[in-house]
Structure 1
């Protein structure tokens, strides 16, 4: 018999341990400490009340974590992690959990449910397809630890303003998009670069910086790089944005996370800088208001 219990009814330590247990042997290492688990739950806006643990005959069998946001009057959901404990894999527990997840979303009047899956995780992708999730795009993760040569990119006539990530939300062409972790609520510690042509904002980038305990810069992670519609100088705007974000004279690791594969120009520019793809995910959506 399969039963479910909201994670809000369990001790956080038990929830964290179940997460690590369910993701054991996963394609990438998804395990995390209790402190990191709590921090991620908060930063990604995951709902313990509407996420759940799955039990088979009273034994822990899996976990589903879900977050909810509202944009333009539409309620959206994001699957922040679904996994089955190794002993119960291959027994259709994942299907049962996704059906329960859909039931919860429908009860909360969710219109669109999003998730990502590693592109090589074919069994998970097939499961989501049976639940009427459709492929929207592919997301690539890239990295570079080499010195960047961007001298030509810095020779531009645009004005550039740095600020907090949240400030980009006021731009007329800002769109939250479908990538949950690239949305402003997930970027409370994020920064922004806005590029201006005269007084008009024409592009922006969102990014994070990381530092060691002594305040030394250790990494820069690009989250988004967007250009206002109908600009014929899109490449120049992106180059100006990236040059300001990457700070090429500094030595640190640089990453680009969950960049949509359909953003061909951005990916091409990153590859020109010798960024290499180290992971690819699929972005999927389930429409619940049909």
Structure 2
């Protein structure tokens, strides 16, 4: 018999242990220590009250975690992690959990549901498709640990300013987008650059920086970089933003997380700079409450 229990009824340590147990042997190592797990729950807005553990005849068999936001007047849900304990894989537990999760979305009157899946995890993608999720784009993750040669990118007529991530929400052409972890509520520790052509804002970038215990720059992670629509100088705008974000004279690790493959201008510029793809995901959506 399959039963479910909401995660808010567990001590957080037990939730973390179930997460690690369910993701054991997964394509990508998603296990994490307790402190990092707590940070992820908070930073990604995951709801323990609306996430659950799955039991089969009284034994823990899986976990589903989800987050919920109001975006542009619609209630949006994100599947922040679904995994089956190894001993129960291949027995239809994943499908049962997704079905229960969709029932939960209906109870909460969710309008749109998103999730990501590793692009090589074909069985999971097929499962989500049978549950009426549609694949809408690929998400690219890249890295570069070398110094960047951006000398030719320094000559432009734009003004570039730095600020907090939340500040780009005031730009007329900013949209929240469909990638949960790149939306402003997930970037409380994020930074931004805004590109101006005269007094007009024409582009922006969102990123995070990390530092070592001595205050030295350790890494920069790019999350979004876009120009205003219908700009003929789109490539030049993105170049100006990237040069400010990447701080090319600094020695640090540079990564790019979940950039949409449809953003060809950005992908091509990153390729020119020597960034290499280390993982791809698929972005999937289901429109509910129609």
Work out whether 1:268 is the aligned partner of 2:268: yes
* SS class of match (1:235): helix
- Over the aligned positions, Cα root-mean-square deviation in angstroms equals 0.5
Equivalences for residues 34-53 of structure 1 within 5 A: 34-53=34-53
* Mapped partners of 1:274, 1:72: distance in 2: 36
Runs of 4+ that moved beyond 6 A? none
Tell me the TM-score normalised to structure 2 length.
0.99
* Runs of 5+ consecutive residues of structure 2 not aligned to the other structure: none
* Mapped partners of 2:15, 2:231: distance in 1: 48
The residue number in structure 1 matching 2:26 is 26
* Mapped partners of 1:221, 1:289: distance in 2: 35
Give the Å deviation of 1:287: 1.0
The residue number in structure 1 matching 2:111 is 111
* Mapped partners of 2:126, 2:218: distance in 1: 38
The residue number in structure 1 matching 2:95 is 95
Give the Å deviation of 1:87: 0.2
Give the Å deviation of 1:289: 2.0
* Mapped partners of 2:222, 2:2: distance in 1: 42
* Mapped partners of 1:288, 1:160: distance in 2: 40
Work out whether 1:60 is the aligned partner of 2:51: no
* Runs of 5+ consecutive residues of structure 1 not aligned to the other structure: none
The residue number in structure 1 matching 2:221 is 221
Deviations 1:168-209 (A, max 9, x none): 000000000000000000000000000000000000000000
Equivalences for residues 195-234 of structure 1 within 5 A: 195-234=195-234
* Mapped partners of 1:150, 1:123: distance in 2: 41
Give the Å deviation of 1:72: 1.7
* SS class of match (2:39): helix
* Mapped partners of 1:120, 1:229: distance in 2: 32
* SS class of match (1:46): coil
The aligned length equals: 290
Equivalences for residues 64-213 of structure 1 within 5 A: 64-213=64-213
Tell me the TM-score normalised to structure 1 length.
0.99
Give the Å deviation of 1:30: 0.4
* Mapped partners of 2:197, 2:234: distance in 1: 12
* Mapped partners of 1:73, 1:191: distance in 2: 25
